[in-house]
Amino acid sequence: MFIRIFTLLFILGTALLSVLLGMDSGQNIRQVTTDPAPDYHVKWSPDGKTLAFTSQRSGEPKIWLVAAEGGDPYKLETGSSGDHHISWAPDSERMTFDAQWNEVPNIFAISLDGGKPKRLSQDGIVDFQPCWSPDGSTIAFTSDRSGNMDIWIIPASAGEAKQLTFHDSRNDQASWSRDGTRIAFMSERSGKRDIWIVPDAGGDPVRFTEESDNGWPSWSPEGKRIAFSSNQAGNTDIWMKDVDAKIGEELKPK
């Protein structure tokens, strides 16, 4: 059964001029950044101490950090351009992101204590939308290295990548389950945008949504629900759906 949660309040391409913190009641809300340049794609560190976000305050999209309790934001020196799609490592000491490399998006990993970022991509290949696994060992991402946009995984320390989806439709927006055994993703293989789930070890994906266009899945902490965006009610909203036992059985190794 679907539960409609709240209306999605952003419009793609519209500048977000600040990052806000608040409670569901709307009380205790405070502004965290105040720069006139757009700040967006905010991600909270797993230890709860830091907010990472993309900002154009330096003239191009770059990663900035600010203490969750407030303070002056500072730029993470990545040495790259067009930084997007931040994903924290579970230890809150590293992150991965995609950035332009020879005019195509590539994936990088960087430590917050300094040093050059490590490029995890290969030359001439489009890799983007990285997502760190809960145990910190693996990064899921979208790539065209098969000739089609598919979901891949790669060791966080770099190494050989493994393809998880094999369909000539677009497959992207990977999201790990909290136990690290499954990856939800968006696919257009049904003729429209739907959420599918694939085992992290590989196998046949299982369709999770069937109503209208759906995308950007996010697992609940206990792994029993997935939140996602959907326009099934006529407007792009956030919805939530249980991951039932049947899907769990279908995803078990045969």
pLDDT band (50, 70, 90) for residue 237: confident
Let me know: does 130 contact 185? Beta carbons within 8 Å.
no
Partners of 229 in the beta sheet?
A: 215, 238
Lookup result for tokens 């502004």:
31
Q: Specify the pTM.
A: 0.81
Distance separating alpha carbons of residues 182 and 178, to the nearest angstrom: 8
pLDDT tens track for 159-192: 899 999 999 999 999 999 999 999 999 999 989 9
pLDDT tens by residue, 42-80: 899 999 999 999 998 988 899 999 998 888 999 998 888
Strands annotated E in 8-102: 20-21, 30-31, 39-44, 50-55, 62-67, 74-75, 81-88, 94-101
How sure is the predictor about 4, in pLDDT bands with cuts at 50, 70 and 90?
Answer: very low
- Between CA 55 and CA 97 the distance in angstroms is 14
Instruction: Give dist(CA 96, CA 234) in Å, integer.
Output: 34
**Contact present, 201 and 216 (Cβ < 8 Å):** no
